[in-house]
Amino acid sequence: VSDIVFLNGAFVARDRALVPVDDRGFLFGDGVYEVVRLVAGRYVDGDRHRDRLARSLAELRLEGGIEDGTALLDIGLDLLARNRIGVGGQALVYLQVTRGVARRRHAFPPAGTPPTVFVAASGFVPQRDLMETGVAAVTHPDLRWHRCDIKSVNLLPNVLANQKATEQGAYEAILVRDGVVTEGTRSNVFAVVDGVLRTHPTGPAILPGVTRAVVVELAREAGLHVEERAFSAAELAKAAEVFATGTTTDVTPVVAVDGRAVGSGQPGPVARRLGALLTARMTSLPD
Ligand code: PDD
């Protein structure tokens, strides 16, 4: 049986949730999205995801029809109930808003064109085995545009880089722009270089990951030396530890990059510690 999703104000079976060919998400990739995690039926950092969605929408000047992100998150909770998921385990809610349906022309459609709003929920099982063993990654040129801070559905460079990683048996592609590591195709990337935990600063070159921000906070609370300062591909190659963070990634240690071992080739103490702290936080968040 098909699950129930939300499309433009109605709850419908997924296989009947259809978007017209003139949807600007389909024609231009003119839309934004969010992926939010739930543990024990509660959102993990729902407010941060809601704020980022609002920011993405504002940057695209995409308005009208969505009063606020909280309403969309509530629809996600409704979907969990309707689909009977996430009761005992974990879940993901996917939110997408596009600039609606209009005959193809590059400039915005007429004012008042309603956005297309889509929400879906699914059960989620964290890949604990990968967090234990660590994963392989490959480096790949960052071929994306200069507004990677917007969580747009234009993910073609991410798709192509992630496919390259997949074909090489790797979990993630680490993107490199002008010799500098930006982030992963669906995660942010940290490295321990000369005893300092580093990750690319926020700005137009990366998505300001919710998990990234939380991990930086947890690391500082734990007394680690953290710098939001980019590291080069050369520094990546000699890092003692590398790990990826994200809503579906948590803290996943990277134990090999481009076929060469990172540090000892085993998950390192910083990744292990932050992974444990993140998991503990997720299961003990206040209402
Ligand atoms: N991806 N960087 C990119 C390019 C991402 O797509 C994501 C998330 C992240 C991590 O952000 P966060 O911690 O807020 O999830 C970083 C989602 C999960 C996805 O596309 O499926």
Q: What is the pLDDT of residues 19-54, one digit of tens each?
A: 999 999 999 999 999 999 999 999 999 999 999 999
- Is there a contact between 282 and 45 (Cβ–Cβ < 8 Å)? no
- The number of the ligand 1 atom at minimal distance from the alpha carbon of 247 is 15
Q: Residue 65: pLDDT band by 50, 70, 90 thresholds?
A: low
Q: Report, as an integer, the average pLDDT of 156-160.
A: 98
Q: Name the β-bridge partners of 242.
A: 191, 254
pLDDT on residue 227 = 98
> Across all residues in the chain, what is the average pLDDT?
95
Q: What is the pLDDT of residues 113-140, one digit of tens each?
A: 999 999 999 999 999 999 999 999 999 9
Q: Which two tokens stand for residue 168?
A: 């090489």
Ligand 1 neighbour 183 (Cβ under 6 A): yes
37, 48, 99, 151: the catalytic one is 151
Ligand 1 neighbour 34 (Cβ under 6 A): no
Residue 198 has pLDDT above 90, yes or no: yes
Q: Report, as an integer, the average pLDDT of 99-109.
A: 98
Ligand 1 neighbour 188 (Cβ under 6 A): yes
Q: What is the 3-state secondary structure (H, E, C) of 202-261?
A: CCCCCCCCHHHHHHHHHHHHCCCCEECCCCEHHHHHHCCEEEEEECCCEEEEEEEECCEE
- The H or E element that residue 1 is part of is none
Q: How many CB atoms lie within 10 A of CB 52?
A: 23
Q: Report, as an integer, the average pLDDT of 59-79.
A: 87
**CA nearest ligand 1 atom 20, residue:** 186
**CA nearest ligand 1 atom 19, residue:** 186
* Catalytic annotation present for 151: yes
pLDDT on residue 283 = 86
Q: Which two tokens stand for residue 111?
A: 């004012």
Ligand 1 neighbour 246 (Cβ under 6 A): yes
% of the chain residues with pLDDT over 90: 93
Q: Residue 284: pLDDT band by 50, 70, 90 thresholds?
A: confident
pLDDT on residue 88 = 76
pLDDT on residue 139 = 98
Instruction: Find where tokens 């921000």 sit.
Output: 213
d(CA 164, CA 167): 5
Q: Report, as an integer, the average pLDDT of 217-241.
A: 98
Ligand 1 neighbour 247 (Cβ under 6 A): yes
Ligand 1 neighbour 249 (Cβ under 6 A): no
Pocket test for ligand 1, best of 186, 202, 216, 282 (most atoms within 8 A of CB): 186
Which residue in 180, 183, 145 sits closest to 162, CA to CA? 183
Q: Which two tokens stand for residue 72?
A: 């969309």
Q: Give me ligand 1 centre to Cα 18, in Å.
A: 25
d(CA 31, CA 87): 30
**CA nearest ligand 1 atom 4, residue:** 186
Q: What is the pLDDT of residues 243-259, one digit of tens each?
A: 999 999 999 999 999 99
pLDDT on residue 103 = 97
Q: Residue 265: pLDDT band by 50, 70, 90 thresholds?
A: very high
**CA nearest ligand 1 atom 1, residue:** 186
In one letter, which amino acid is 75?
I
Phi, psi of 105 (to 5 degrees): -155, 150
pLDDT on residue 63 = 84
pLDDT on residue 69 = 77
Q: Give me ligand 1 centre to Cα 187, in Å.
A: 5
pLDDT on residue 286 = 59
Residue 67 has pLDDT above 70, yes or no: no
d(CA 177, CA 201): 14
